[in-house]
Every structure is written in C-alpha cells, then in structure tokens.
Structure 1
Amino acid sequence: MIGCSHPSQLAEPEAPAIPVSHPVSRQVTDYVDFTGRTDAIQAVDIRARVTGYLVQMPFKEGAEVKKGDLLFEIDPRPYQAQLDQAVSQVTLNEASLHLARTTLARDKQVDKEAPGGVSKELLDKDAAAIAEAEARVKAFQASSEVYRLNVGYCKVTAPIDGRVSRYFLTLGNLVNQDQTLLTTVVSVDPMYAYFDMDEPTLLRIRHAVNDGRIKRLESGEIPVLMSLQGEQGFPHDGKVNFVNNQVNPTTGSISVRGVFPNAAPKNGDRLLSPGMFVRIRLPIGQPHPALLVIDRAIATDQGLKYVYVLGADNKAEYRRITTGPLQPDGLRVVDGLSANDWVLVGGQQQVRPKMQIRPDQVAMPTIGPATGEKSEGGGQKSEAGDQKSKVKDQK
C-alpha cells in the first residue's frame, strides 16, 4: 500500500575526478620584470649653419649613414663670392704692407746716408703705415676664415653614424641659419632601454649585490635581459650601465638604463629602433633548487595564496603557500609544499576543503617552452617529462 511503502534511497553523488600532480623540482633564478622603452644613445637634429636655398639632398630617406656623409647642400655661390672678395682684400693689403715696409726701409737708408735728410715725422708715418697695413691684413684674413667656414657649412654632413629620418624640406626651399630643422639622425648600435624600478626592488637588488648573490660582469656592470613584443622568453642580453642619482618621491621609483647590442644580421635589418616597447628581466641571485606548480593551481583568499593538496582518504586539504616568480613555461615558484605532495591542478572551482575527490594522477602541466628546453631566468631542464613517466609507473 502507498501509506506503508518505504521512501527510496538516493544514491550518493560520485566524487569528482580531479587531476593531481607532484610539484616540479628544478634549479631556478629569482628575477624581477619591468617594462620600458628603447632610446638611441645619440640623437641629433640636423640644422643648417648658414642661410640659403637647398640645391642638393643626396641621401636616401630612412637609410643608414656614416659620419661625414653628405646630407644636404645649400647654394654656396653667395658665400664663395664673399670668400673670394675677402681673399682679394688680403692680397691687396699684403701689397700695401709690402709697399709700406719698402718705403720705411728706403727712408731709413736716406737718413743714414744723409743725416737729417728725412724728418723724424716722416719716419714715424712710415712705421705707422706698416702697422696699419699689418692690421688690415689680419682683419681680412679673419674675415676670409669666416667666409671659408660658411662655404664649408653649405655642405651639411652627418655628425654621427646612424639612421637618418625623412626630408623635412624639399629642394629649392629656404633654410635659416641655426633654425630650420632639415632631418634627424639617431645612432642604432648599441641601443639604450630605459625602465623605472620601484624602491623595494632597488633595495633588494642592492642587498643582493652587497651579499654577492648578484655577480657583476667583468666591466663591473649588472647583467640584464630584454624581450621585444611577440618574442618568447628574454633572448637579448645586455647590462645595466646607469642608475639615476635619486628616487622620484612622487612615484617612488628610480630611472634605470640598460644597454643592448643591435647588430644587423647578414642581409637583414636591425631589430631595435628608438621608442620600442620592451620587457626587461633583471636576474637576482644565483640558481637555486625550488618547487614549482602550474600558476592556475594557485588561488587567492583575501590576499593570501593557497593550493589544494591531496590528503588522507583522498580528501582535498587547504594549504597556504608563498609564491615566487612565474617561469616562462607557466610554472610558478612556491614555498610551503614538499616534493611528495599531490597538488590539485584542475577543477578548483568545484573543490572545497575536506571534500572527497577521485585523484587523476598526471604530469604537472606546463605552457610555453617545450619539455627539455632551457628555461629563462636560470631554470634548467624541465622535469615534466620525467614526472609523467613516474606517474605512469605508479599507475
């Protein structure tokens, strides 16, 4: 009868299958990352040093130029005419000087042969004529030098090796002395990269240098790594060659500069240009052993980091940890685990402390560089492949 029937028993829900992995153990190097911008070591605004009209622009826009290459030529004819006139004046006054000296010598000879034959006043006039002619010669020689410089300034040459910009003016335009910008030239090799370092990191690095955990290069500088947009890892090696002399009290940061080579490959182009966005990695200390887990396995609870580990009777246990740098393969350095712990690496949304699960033992998942490649930041060979073999053996 319906009134005497027993209620049906509901089946207990099956425990969810959750992937678990042992932490990866390997050598890593601590580091800090920054963002920055590249900048040329030398940048020159090309301006004319004389006024005139452009008559020649023999360079190719955007090309690399050598120091002394001709970039622009201003019509030299007015300045050449001034130079020729000044040179002629020098010649004219040299002739006057020669005449004055000859006159003085002749009058002295006459006065010697016939004392009193030439008045003292005349001899004084002869000497003054010589001094006046010498002064005119020197004045026009100086003028000639000025005009000679102006003729030379009509040829505007590259002051440095580098890459030239576009034409800011075309042929036939008037340029004004020391005012009109014709183009720019920037150096290309090596290249600077500027970035801002926060005060805590600055102190951390200085302590590491003082303790000998950061090894300086033979030149005394600190090594630094750089990555461009779209690049994996930090393939560009450089060195820190400048730290500003004061911390900005508004931002609490200090300006730091690294220098990186920018050689052009054979039949190729240089990678770096001024103004590019870059990522900077500064290694801190020497390689040391560490445990790492996939970053997605780490959760946050009111600012505290934790993971779930497999406990007794296959129950999830809450384990608080401290985290370190994220590696290029997606693993993050952690402290608070042991190499034998089974860490839950998936399904964290459906897991609660003390919850029964069905562990699915897998190798620690990674992203980025393939297994066996050298990890950036000092990490050595990944153990994900070895761990996968161990898991299969355990199964």
Structure 2
Amino acid sequence: MTNAKNNKLRMWTAAGVAAGMSVLATAIIALQGDRAQATANSAPPPPQVSVATVGESEITAWDEFSGRLEAVERVEVRSRVAGAVQAVHFREGALVRHGDLLVTIDPAPYQAEVERAEAQVGAAQARLAQAQSEHARAQRLWEESAIAQRELEEKVNAAREAAANLRAAQAQLQGARLNLGYTQVRAPVGGRIGKLEVTAGNLVAAGPGAPVLTTLVSVSPIYASFDADEQVIVRALQGLAGGASARQMIERIPVQMGTGTSADTPYQGRLHLIDNQVDARSGTIRLRAAFDNRDGALIPGQFARVRMGQARTTRAVLVPERAVGTDQEKKYVLVVGEGNKAEYREVTLGASTNGQRVVHSGLKAGERIVVNGLQRVRPGAVVQPQQVAMAG
C-alpha cells in the first residue's frame, strides 16, 4: 500500500516538472523571438553614398614622360684678349641682358696699340698724297714729252703702292680698335649668369684655351628633353593632317609640363624636335619641347614631368580621381548594380585630365559608380544611392 502511494507521488511530481519545463521553453522561445525582432528593428540602414552615371567624353589622350630642362643657349664666357682682369660688373646668379658689360680687361696696352695704328694711318695718308701729286706732275710732263714713259709708270706704281700701304695701315687700326673693344667682355646672350671663375687682378690668356670667366645660360624659352617610345610617336604623328611642313606638323602636338615642386602641369608648350633616329638599345626617340620662361622660374637641369597629347581628340570613359580605390597594386571602382548592391570592379586606368582619369577597361558608359563615400562601403553591401552629376 505504501509502495503504491509512493509510485503515484512520483508520477505526479514528474508530470509537474514536465509541465514546468514546457512552460519555460515556451517562454524562452518567445523571448528570443522578441529579441530577434528588436534586433531587426534596430539594424542600421544602408549607408548613403553619392553615385554618378558613367559617360563618354571627347578628350585629348595624353602620355606622360620624365625629362630634364635644358637651356636653349649655354655660353662659356672667355676673354678674347690677354691681360689683367681690371673689374667685374655683375652679380653671380643675376639675370643679364644681351650686351651687358660683365668684365673689363686692362685696356691700357690696347689703347696704346690703337694710337700707334692711328699714327701709321696718318703717315700712310701723307705718303699717298705725295705719291698722287708726283703721279699727276709726271702725267703732265709725259704729255709734254718732257719725261719718258718709264718714269711715268714708276710714279703710277708708287701711287698704287702708297694706296695699298694706307689700306694695310687702316686694317691694322681696325684690328687694334677691335682688340680694345674686346677688353670689355659683354654678355653674348641674355640670361642667367653663373659663378665668377676669375676674380679681379688675375691675368688671363686669350682664345679658346683661355680660362672661363663665367657661364651664361639663356632663360626664355627653355627646353624640356625627354625620351618617348616609338609607338607613342607613331600614334601622335598619325593624328596629324598632311600638307604642312615638318615643323608646322609637330608644333600641332600639344605638350604640357610640370616640375617636381608641383603635381600639376601648368606650363603649356610646343613640340620643337623629334629626333631623326630610334635608339636601338631602348627603342625610344629623343624629343624636345619648348616652354616660355620669362619669369625665370624654370632652371636648366631641373626634373620635368612632360605630358604629350594627340593632335586629334578621342572618346573615352572618364571617372573622378576620388572614385578610384587602391587594392595593393590594383585599381578599382564600386559599381552600384541591381538591388543597389556595390560590386567590386577592377579597372585599367589611363592618363589624368582635369581631375579625372581615363578608364581603358573594366567599366563602360551607362553604369553607376560610387563617387563619394567609397571608404564606407564594402563590396556586396547594399547602399542608399544619391544620384549626383559626374564631375572631377
């Protein structure tokens, strides 16, 4: 009897526990559902990003090169006469004009030579006057048959010799005056002058073996020399129309240049030279462009970034610089496709133009790309696109 009561008690206890567990499980499931709903309701909305529709534009295709600036004229200033340096009339590094006085060589010996030559000219003129007078007198006497033909010819020859001696004396005087003028060493070209190599008081020789007094480089225009692949040159020349001279043709090719101090290429120039042969080792051709440099800001030897364009425009896909991301060595954009999902798209870029980059492959006109907020979006994520105009 007692065992039956105990078994019945155990059955009621187990049933109560089972019922309690069922109620607890139901409560937990309900609580989890409420939490899931709350989480769904509190999830952040998709990020807002600016998107633009890709289009095509007429552009000038540019190729970029590295080069160096070169002076159009570079002169080593030497004395043309020997002597002592008497005075220096320039400041190192200054801009000088053509004909400015740079250095004076002691003129005293050359002034004396001029005076001696002038005296010789005077003496030759006197001898010529006497010879001409004797020739005229002999001519009258011969006409009167007072002298022989031989005597007349002697007077004629004497007059001719005196005239020749006068011309020789005059030539010596001209040479002496030239040498006197050479004691004033003047700027052969306008430009920027360099370091003084010989100071006042030193003796200098004359001629090509003479020491360099200073160097002078022209300022404006200035050349930028660079090497370009032969295929680039062929492509550029194919865009030129015929019927013009070679110089007129190459000057139609647009050229821009910047230096290492700026990322821009603010200098507009003209192509001046395409060399007449290809370097067999590198497969490149030497080119030279000319740029205005009136303010003297560009210096020979300076590094130059040169952009050479095509004479004819082409149609190309352009995207803003800020829309392009970098993934290690790859360049990519985020394309907004169906369902406003951001798609990773690797692209091949070309040259930069007005804050935009040319896209050679990976993107086509009509597609939408993220142009602002690229860092807030992951590939595959849903975004809230805000349509904006395509701009650099």
- TM-score, length-normalised on structure 2? 0.71
* 8 Å CA contact retained: 1:224, 1:240: yes
* 8 Å CA contact retained: 2:340, 2:385: no
Q: Distance in 2 between the 1:331 and 1:73 partners?
A: 58
Query: 1:22 offset after TM fit, Å?
Result: 4.9
Q: Distance in 1 between the 2:152 and 2:193 partners?
A: 64
Query: 1:332 offset after TM fit, Å?
Result: 5.5
1:290 and 2:317 correspond: yes
Q: Distance in 1 between the 2:142 and 2:91 partners?
A: 72
1:171 and 2:197 correspond: no
**Letter matched to residue 229 of structure 2:** D
Q: 2:188 aligns with which of 159, 163, 167?
A: 159
* 8 Å CA contact retained: 1:297, 1:346: no
SS of the residue corresponding to residue 248 of structure 1 reads: coil
Please name the residue that 2:267 is paired with. 236
Q: 1:38 aligns with which of 60, 66, 69?
A: 69
Please name the residue that 1:277 is paired with. 303
Please name the residue that 2:20 is paired with. none
Q: How does 1:2-21 map to 2 (within 5 A)?
A: none
**Letter matched to residue 286 of structure 1:** T
Cα 1:324–1:132 change in 2 (3 A) is: closer
Gaps of 5+ in 1: 1-16, 265-269, 352-356, 365-370, 372-380, 385-395
Please name the residue that 1:198 is paired with. 229
Cα 1:240–1:107 change in 2 (3 A) is: closer
Query: After the TM superposition, which of the residue ranges 101-110 and 192-201 deviates more from structure 2?
Result: 101-110
Q: How does 1:260-275 map to 2 (within 5 A)?
A: 260-264=291-295, 270-275=296-301
SS of the residue corresponding to residue 306 of structure 2 reads: strand
1:337 and 2:363 correspond: yes
Cα 1:154–1:363 change in 2 (3 A) is: farther
* 8 Å CA contact retained: 2:219, 2:293: yes
Query: 1:359 offset after TM fit, Å?
Result: 4.1
Please name the residue that 1:133 is paired with. 162
**Letter matched to residue 84 of structure 2:** Y
SS of the residue corresponding to residue 36 of structure 1 reads: strand
- 1:153-192, CA deviations, whole angstroms, 9 ceiling, x for partnerless residues? 1111112222222211111112211222111222212221
Query: 1:35 offset after TM fit, Å?
Result: 1.1
**Letter matched to residue 361 of structure 2:** D
Cα 1:246–1:363 change in 2 (3 A) is: farther
* 8 Å CA contact retained: 1:19, 1:346: no
Q: 1:207 aligns with which of 238, 247, 271?
A: 238
Cα 1:37–1:220 change in 2 (3 A) is: closer
* 8 Å CA contact retained: 1:28, 1:290: no
Q: How does 1:364-383 map to 2 (within 5 A)?
A: 382-383=390-391
Please name the residue that 1:325 is paired with. 351
* 8 Å CA contact retained: 1:241, 1:258: yes
Question: Alignment identity in percent?
Answer: 34
SS of the residue corresponding to residue 171 of structure 1 reads: coil
- 1:5-33, CA deviations, whole angstroms, 9 ceiling, x for partnerless residues? xxxxxxxxxxxx99987566354733211
**Letter matched to residue 173 of structure 1:** N
Query: 1:194 offset after TM fit, Å?
Result: 1.2
Please name the residue that 1:48 is paired with. 79
Query: 1:196 offset after TM fit, Å?
Result: 1.0
Q: Distance in 1 between the 2:235 and 2:241 partners?
A: 10
Query: 1:100 offset after TM fit, Å?
Result: 2.4
Query: 1:279 offset after TM fit, Å?
Result: 0.8
Q: Distance in 1 between the 2:48 and 2:350 partners?
A: 23
**Letter matched to residue 193 of structure 2:** V
* 8 Å CA contact retained: 1:243, 1:256: yes
Query: 1:90 offset after TM fit, Å?
Result: 1.7
1:103 and 2:134 correspond: yes
Q: Distance in 1 between the 2:139 and 2:381 partners?
A: 127
Query: After the TM superposition, which of the residue ranges 121-130 and 49-58 deviates more from structure 2?
Result: 121-130
SS of the residue corresponding to residue 97 of structure 1 reads: helix
Q: How does 1:68-83 map to 2 (within 5 A)?
A: 68-83=99-114
1:88 and 2:119 correspond: yes
Give the root-mean-square deviation of aligned CA atoms. 3.9
Query: 1:107 offset after TM fit, Å?
Result: 4.1
Q: Distance in 2 between the 1:220 and 1:274 partners?
A: 22
Q: 1:189 aligns with which of 220, 224, 230?
A: 220
SS of the residue corresponding to residue 287 of structure 2 reads: strand
Q: Distance in 1 between the 2:183 and 2:73 partners?
A: 24
Please name the residue that 1:6 is paired with. none
- TM-score, length-normalised on structure 1? 0.70
Q: 1:143 aligns with which of 172, 175, 185?
A: 172
Structure showing greater radius of gyration is 2
Q: Distance in 2 between the 1:124 and 1:358 partners?
A: 118
- 1:52-81, CA deviations, whole angstroms, 9 ceiling, x for partnerless residues? 111122122222212111111111221221
**Letter matched to residue 129 of structure 1:** A
Please name the residue that 2:255 is paired with. 224
Q: Distance in 1 between the 2:309 and 2:134 partners?
A: 84
* 8 Å CA contact retained: 1:36, 1:196: yes
SS of the residue corresponding to residue 206 of structure 2 reads: coil
Number of matched pairs: 334
Q: Distance in 2 between the 1:312 and 1:112 partners?
A: 124
